[in-house]
Amino acid sequence: MSQEQWSAVDRYLTDTLVPSDAALDAALAASAAAGLPPINVAPNQGKLLHLLARIQGARTILEIGTLGGYSTIWLARALPAVGRLITLESEPKHAEVARANLDRAGLANIVELRLGRALDTLPKLAAEGRGPFDLIFIDADKPSNPDYFAWALKLSRRGSVIVIDNVVRKGAIIDPESADPSVQGVRRLNKLLATERRVSATAIQTVGSKGYDGLAIVLVTEGP
């Protein structure tokens, strides 16, 4: 199997199951035009997040890592009119592009974008009494994944779902000696997921237009 074949199958699945959408297409075009890196989730992955949020009946969502707001749009569209999504982004340029994309998608009233390093903005959210969130999507700098998971757990309730992207890293996660801080971040995260008694978690490998990677899904089983 090759990247070419994974991309062709992703194209087929997306053409068949994920109809083209003006706001989402415009968000990707504006992100590319502004020079943002193409590290957003793929369309069929965006729809997976959207469906997970709907299956969960989510009314509140927290996203760590906005980029141009592509996954944000997918997630926010799963919310009812009274729903709320808070997304955290550290790069001012990414935040500016995301705000315009969210405006164009008609989601400015539902989505609150907080600019700053997530390890600074997360404690502020907690201090403001925000949360618990029904669904939390972690997709920012991977070395901080263990810290993001700890914050996600603090901002959860029993029944919250936490999704963490890019947890396989082309298979590099099986190397305990890896010098890659992202690989070490994922390995430390997995240790936490395995030992934290308040959650039940799994992870799967994925292939597609975004290459070979994976996704962890966590259910919070204890808490308020």
| Residues whose CB falls within 8 Å of the CB of residue 205, separated by 6 or more in sequence, listed in order | 168, 212, 213, 214
Q: Which of 54, 117, 124, 198 binds ligand SAM (CB under 6 A)?
A: 117
Nearest approach in angstroms of CB 88 to ligand SAM is: 5
CB atoms inside a 10 Å sphere around CB 113: 20
For the record, the structure tokens of 11 come out as 């194209």
Q: Which of 23, 39, 48, 192 binds ligand SAM (CB under 6 A)?
A: 39
* Interface region with ligand SAM, contact rule CB under 6 A, candidates 37-45, 76-84, 190-198, 200-208: 37-45
For the record, the structure tokens of 12 come out as 């087929």
Residue 213 found at the interface with ligand SAM (CB under 6 A): no
CB atoms inside a 10 Å sphere around CB 81: 6
Task: Name the nearest CA neighbour of 69 among 52, 53, 85.
Answer: 85
Nearest approach in angstroms of CB 224 to ligand SAM is: 26
Nearer to ligand SAM, 188 or 223 (CB): 188
Residue 91 found at the interface with ligand SAM (CB under 6 A): yes
Residue 65 found at the interface with ligand SAM (CB under 6 A): yes
Angle formed by the axes of helices 3-17 and 43-56, to 10°? Answer: 50
- Residue 99 falls in which region: left (phi positive, over 0), alpha (psi -120 to 50) or beta: alpha
Pattern of binders to ligand SAM over 131-150, x per CB under 6 A?
--------xxx---------
* Interface region with ligand SAM, contact rule CB under 6 A, candidates 18-26, 66-74, 172-180, 210-218: 66-74
Residue 25 found at the interface with ligand SAM (CB under 6 A): no
